[in-house]
């Protein structure tokens, strides 16, 4: 396993288990299988609505002696309806109670899109706060308090553009240490990778396999398929790997963290093995050419007319 080392010496395993879309009923066994297989990094979020079940799996793995808390890296995320300095700690405490943990290793602002406290998602403009009403810098103060109170060791963001990261870096006491964004060969975000490595911010790649298990209303027409691409498939065949392993190895070989979701024991194992594969410069160069700036998670669901949020100002591009 490769690791990224943070300034305080803590190390995050670059490959972790994703849990978005892992249904209650499936996620307990997925986390148990993953820990048995050797995963030490689990990526969670309040909005995935499965943290209580993940918490039971972590607790049982610890009490069965398979792993110690301090050997695990647990990430979770602040949902959009808990932006604002004073909402962060209560939201984090709920996540900690669900996960049955005393502290997180990493807590992220899930989206730079604040919603009203009683809204889980947004249907109309009045469900949102503007970024003037709920500035990220104010929410970040709550994130910093969470570190000061020992509730999380590290803080970061998710779905932030370079512009929003720059603003945050300029307006923070504790700098964001991670940005979790969609990354895969069709969305390589090279400028973001360069910026983050200059700033010592780790990028974590979500949807590394294209998240084909998304709900139908989150899918576009004629989406490209990462797991059925001639270049990826050819590299996989030449190296006796699966296409998924090539995609995951590519992420780790770029120095990003990556969090493939699976609830299937064979695929959980297969994905973990990818963390130790070196693809080589020639294969990396071939994959480099596949970039087409294509987002599977395009953020259109936040672009509610009249809200002030658009796909363009979400990604600042």
Total chain residues near ligand A2P (CB under 6 A): 19
Q: By CB under 6 A, is residue 263 in contact with ligand A2P? A: yes
Q: Which stretch binds ligand A2P (CB under 6 A): 4-12, 51-59, 165-173, 266-274?
A: 266-274
Tell me: does residue 207 bind ligand A2P (CB under 6 A): yes
Question: What is the smallest separation between the CB atom of 195 and ligand A2P, expressed in angstroms?
Answer: 23
Is residue 107 annotated as a catalytic residue, yes or no? no
Residue 262 makes contact with ligand A2P by CB under 6 A: yes
Residues 6 or more apart whose CB falls under 8 angstroms from that of 194 comprise: none
Give the residue from 183, 174, 170 showing the smallest Cα distance to 107: 174
Region of 60-68, 152-160, 258-266, 281-289 interacting with ligand A2P (CB under 6 A): 258-266
CB atoms within 10 A of CB 60: 15
Residue among 76, 8, 65, 66 at smallest CA distance from 42:
76
Q: Is residue 271 involved in binding ligand A2P (CB under 6 A)?
A: yes
Figure out which of the listed residues 49, 191, 194, 213 binds ligand A2P, where binding follows CB under 6 A: 213
Q: Closer to ligand A2P at the Cβ: 204 or 207?
A: 207
Quick one: DSSP state of residue 129?
P
| Residue from 48, 107, 129, 206 carrying the catalytic annotation | 48
Out of 209, 232, 257, 290, name the contact with ligand A2P by CB under 6 A. 209
Nearer to ligand A2P, 134 or 261 (CB): 261
Cα end-to-end distance, the chain, whole Å: 34
CA separation for the pair 109, 82 (Å, rounded): 9
CB of 178 to ligand A2P, least distance (A): 17
Pick from 212, 219, 292, 300: which binds ligand A2P (CB under 6 A)?
212
- The SS3 of residue 20 is coil
Distance of closest approach, residue 223 Cβ to ligand A2P, in angstroms: 12
Active site residues: 48
Chain residues in the site for ligand A2P (CB under 6 A): 18, 207-213, 227, 242, 244, 260-264, 267, 270-271
């Amino acid at each position: 396993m490769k690791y990224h080392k943070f300034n305080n010496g803590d190390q995050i395993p670059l490959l972790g288990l994703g849990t978005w879309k892992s249904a209650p009923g499936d996620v307990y066994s997925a986390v148990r299988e993953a820990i048995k297989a050797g995963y030490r990094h689990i990526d969670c979020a309040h909005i995935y609505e499965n943290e209580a079940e993940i918490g039971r799996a972590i607790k049982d793995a610890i009490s069965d002696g398979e792993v110690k808390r301090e050997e695990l890296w647990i990430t979770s995320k602040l949902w959009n309806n808990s932006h604002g300095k004073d909402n962060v700690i209560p939201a984090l405490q709920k996540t900690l109670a669900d996960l049955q943990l005393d502290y997180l290793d990493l807590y992220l602002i899930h989206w730079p899109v604040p919603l009203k406290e009683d809204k889980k998602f947004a249907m109309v403009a009045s469900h949102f706060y503007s970024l003037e009403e709920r500035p990220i810098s104010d929410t970040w103060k709550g994130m910093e308090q969470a570190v000061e109170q020992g509730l999380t060791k590290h803080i970061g963001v998710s779905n932030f553009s370079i512009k929003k990261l720059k603003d945050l870096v300029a307006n923070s006491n504790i700098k964001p240490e991670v940005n979790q964004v969609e990354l895969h060969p069709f969305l390589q975000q090279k400028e973001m990778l360069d910026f983050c490595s200059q700033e010592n911010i780790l990028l974590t790649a979500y949807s590394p396999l294209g998240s084909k298990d998304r709900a139908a209303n989150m899918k576009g027409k004629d989406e490209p398929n990462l797991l059925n691409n001639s270049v990826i498939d050819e590299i996989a065949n030449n190296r006796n790997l699966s296409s998924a392993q090539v995609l995951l190895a590519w992420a780790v070989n770029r120095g990003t963290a990556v969090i493939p979701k699976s609830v299937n024991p064979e695929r959980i194992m297969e994905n973990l093995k990818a963390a130790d594969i070196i693809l080589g410069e020639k294969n990396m160069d071939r994959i480099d050419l596949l970039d087409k700036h294509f987002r599977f998670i395009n953020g259109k669901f936040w672009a509610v007319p009249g809200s002030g949020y658009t796909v363009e100002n979400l990604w600042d591009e």
